[in-house]
Amino acid sequence: MGIITLRYERKIEVDGIKMIAQNKKARHDYFLEEEFEAGISLAGTEVKSLRAGKVNFRDSYAVIKNNEVYIVGLYISPYEMGNINNKDPERDRKLLLHKEEIRKLIGKTEQKGYSLIPTKIYFKRNKVKLGFALAKGKKLYDKRQTLKEKDAKREIDIRVKGFNQ
C-alpha cells in the first residue's frame, strides 16, 4: 500500500504515482475506447515545470508520423528559473512506445472518427508518463445525454445518502 501525502500543490502520491494534471474535458467530449500509457521525451526545464504543475491539455492530441507518435498542442509553461535551455512551450513531443503498440495504434486510428486524446500526465517512479486514449468524438446530443445521466446519478446518491441517515 502506498503512502498518501497531501502537500500545498494538492498532489496525491499512491504507489509511486504522482498525478500532475488530468484532462477532464476529454471524458465530456469523447467516448474513450481504450487507454494507453507512454513515456514522453522532455527537456530538463520542462520536467521542472511539470513538477510545479504548469501544463495545459487544451486542444492537444496525438498524431502518428513516420511510425512514431507525437503529442501536438500540449502546453508546458517555460520554467521561470530557466535560461536559454527553455524549449518552445507548444512544440511537438515524442511519445515513447513499443513498435507493436504503435502498429496497433496505426490500425485503429485509420478507422473513421478515431483519434488519440491525452487524458492525464503523471510521475511514475520519477518518470513522466502520459496517459492517452483511443477516442471517438461525441455529438451534441451525446453530451446532453451524458449530462442527464450524471445529474440522475447525483440525484440518486443524494436521496440514498438522506435515506441512510
Tens-digit pLDDT profile for residues 47-106: 888 888 888 888 888 889 898 999 998 888 888 776 776 777 778 889 998 999 888 888
The domains found in the chain, sorted by start residue, are 22-139 (2.40.280.10)
The CA-CA-CA angle for residues 58, 105, 94, to 5°, reads: 55
* φ, ψ for residue 49, nearest 5 deg: -65, -40
pLDDT for 98 equals 92
Pull the grid cell for residue 57: 491539455
Note the pLDDT tens digit of each residue in 107-161: 888 887 788 889 999 988 888 899 999 888 777 777 788 888 888 999 888 888 8
Whole-number pLDDT of residue 79: 80
- H-type alpha helices, the chain: 24-29, 44-51, 99-109, 140-164
Given a contact cutoff of 8 angstroms between Cβ atoms, the answer to whether 75 and 56 are in contact is yes
pTM above 0.75, yes or no: no
- Residue 14 pLDDT class (50, 70, 90 cuts): low
Residues 6+ apart with CB under 8 A from 21: 53, 55, 56, 57, 120, 121
